[in-house]
Chains A and B, each alone.
Chain A
Amino acid sequence: MTLFNMLFFAIAALIVASTAIAITRRNLVHAVIYLIFGFFGSAFLFYLFGSPFLAALMVIVYAGAIMILFLFIIMMLRVEAPEEHLFPPRQMLPAVFFAAAYVAIGGLLLINDPSAGAPLTEARTEPAEFGRYIFTQNWLAVEIASLLLLVTIIGALLVGQRPAREDEE
């Protein structure tokens, strides 16, 4: 077993464990902090799989911006840790049924697929090469993503504005 394999299994265990802990927390702040660890694990995995640029982006955007936005909102709303009945059986049973079916069928599919055993070997994409690829082959998608972000900014501004106006009246 090489270091590459050991790193993969360690990172996979880290991601699954921290995500599983995060989704069962009653305290929202704890959930977000555990999820930040999970996203750091994903960033490690991206680095291991040879894309250091996306690993940096994962840390900056996912762990740094998105999760901190969650923390801001949780603290702004001062959610007083409601006595949320965790995992009510009425919703839990169908979810567990579909999750088990999904895992079983997916596992069988992977066992059945001969090309699923193809080993991944180490490779590396330099950020410059990746950027050149993105802006020459996928420039339209980049434009669409920027337009989407613009629309989101305008939408968030509109949605966030309204309650303040009603208070003034």
Chain B
Amino acid sequence: MGIPFGYVLALAGIVVVLGMICATTRRNLIMILLGVEVMLNGAAIAFIAAALRWQQLEGQAFVLFIIAIAAAEVSLGLALIVYLYHRTGSLNPEDYQVLK
């Protein structure tokens, strides 16, 4: 009866690894930001499983703040990406070599 807690942790770990691969290997700022989103999602899965495992509400509260922080991070990150695109005309992080 019931799912072993380790299975859910393994699922969260796989999602975080997928996000890490996306964030480190893609050469497009939007895909890098998507990878960060996927990693935050994996963390949220782990927290919600822990909340169920110990029957405490702290884990769910953490997920609420993860969602709030993800929204803040994405809005500011996308604003920066739009700004960089207007300045350099590129979304490839390797093209940003000017320090001014």
| Pairing of A with B | yes
By size class, the interface of chain B is 35 or more
By size class, the interface of chain A is 35 or more
Q: Which positions in A face B, CB cutoff 8 Å?
A: 2, 4-5, 8, 12, 15-16, 19-20, 22-23, 28, 31-32, 35, 38-39, 42, 45-46, 49-51, 54, 57-58, 61-62, 65-66, 69-70, 73-74, 76-77, 79, 82, 84-88, 91-92, 94-96, 98-99, 102-103, 106-107, 110-111, 113, 115-121, 123, 125, 129-130, 133-134, 137-138, 141, 145, 148-149, 151-153, 155-156, 159-160, 162-163
**Apart from A51-B48, A95-B25, A134-B61, what are 12 other A-B pairs with CB-CB below 8 Å?**
A8-B3, A15-B15, A19-B15, A23-B26, A51-B60, A51-B63, A70-B33, A95-B20, A96-B21, A113-B6, A119-B2, A137-B57
The interface residues of chain A lying within 8 Å CB-to-CB of B81 are 73, 77
- Whether B83 pairs with A120 at a CB distance below 8 angstroms is no
Name the distance in Å between B32's Cβ and chain A's nearest Cβ. 11
- Whether B21 pairs with A23 at a CB distance below 8 angstroms is yes
The interface residues of chain B lying within 8 Å CB-to-CB of A61 are 67, 70-71
Name the distance in Å between A22's Cβ and chain B's nearest Cβ. 7
Q: Which of B30-44 contact A (CB under 8 A)?
A: 30-31, 33-35, 37-38, 41, 44
The interface residues of chain B lying within 8 Å CB-to-CB of A28 are 28, 30-31
Q: Which positions in B face A, CB cutoff 8 Å?
A: 1-11, 13-15, 17-22, 24-28, 30-31, 33-35, 37-38, 41, 44-45, 48-49, 51-53, 55, 57, 60-61, 63-65, 67-72, 74-76, 78-83, 85-87, 91-92
Q: How far is the CA of A96 from the CA of B49 in the complex (A)?
A: 27
